[in-house]
Amino acid sequence: MNKHHQKAPNELANNRKAHHDYKILATYEAGLALTGTEIKSVRAGRMNLRDGFVQFKHGELWLANVHISLYDQGNQFNHDPLRDRKLLLHKKEIRKISEELTQKGITVIPLKVYLKHGFAKVLIGVAEGKKQFDKRETIKRRDQDREMRRNLKNVLR
């Protein structure tokens, strides 16, 4: 595993595809309302953010389509792996995000999940989808930067 894909010590899940598919306009830290078996699976790092998104329902923000695997020792108290989970934010933040969601082409996606003071937090990003040519431009720029660093490193030797 190279250094770019290593997790931070408290990071539990990361949506690496998000920065490729979307231009992130703003980020917010939100708490997650989880059940007992869900938090145990999350702490074990058994979750997938890839297809997740945030919905605005009944004045609240909900994290949808995020898969949290079943807890092995959960027996009949286990949770539904794809259930919607409530995001815990301040009212001002919820109001601001809901206003941004009304704009065309704007979505809210989960970027990463991590532990902070023992609580699971999710970093959500207000994002705008990239077009195919934008993705190619990003890849091209990244390759040019990598080549420039490589050349600079060789010159300094």
Residue 76 has pLDDT above 80, yes or no: no
- Structural domain tally of the chain? 1
Provide the CATH number for the domain around residue 114: 2.40.280.10
Flag the least confident range among 6-10, 69-73, 75-79: 6-10
pTM score of the predicted model:
0.75
- Read off the pLDDT band of 1 (50, 70, 90): very low
- Read off the pLDDT band of 104 (50, 70, 90): confident
Q: What residues make up the domain containing 16?
A: 9-130
CA distances from 97 to 56, 64, 74, 121 (A): 9, 16, 35, 17
pLDDT in the model for residue 28: 92
Counting Cβ atoms within 10 Å, is residue 61 exposed (0-12), middle (13-18) or buried (19+)? buried
Q: Looking at the domain assignment, is residue 146 inside a domain?
A: no
CA distances from 23 to 46, 113, 131, 137 (A): 26, 19, 10, 12
Instruction: Compute the average pLDDT of residues 143-156.
Output: 87
Q: Looking at the domain assignment, is residue 31 inside a domain?
A: yes
Q: Looking at the domain assignment, is residue 80 inside a domain?
A: yes
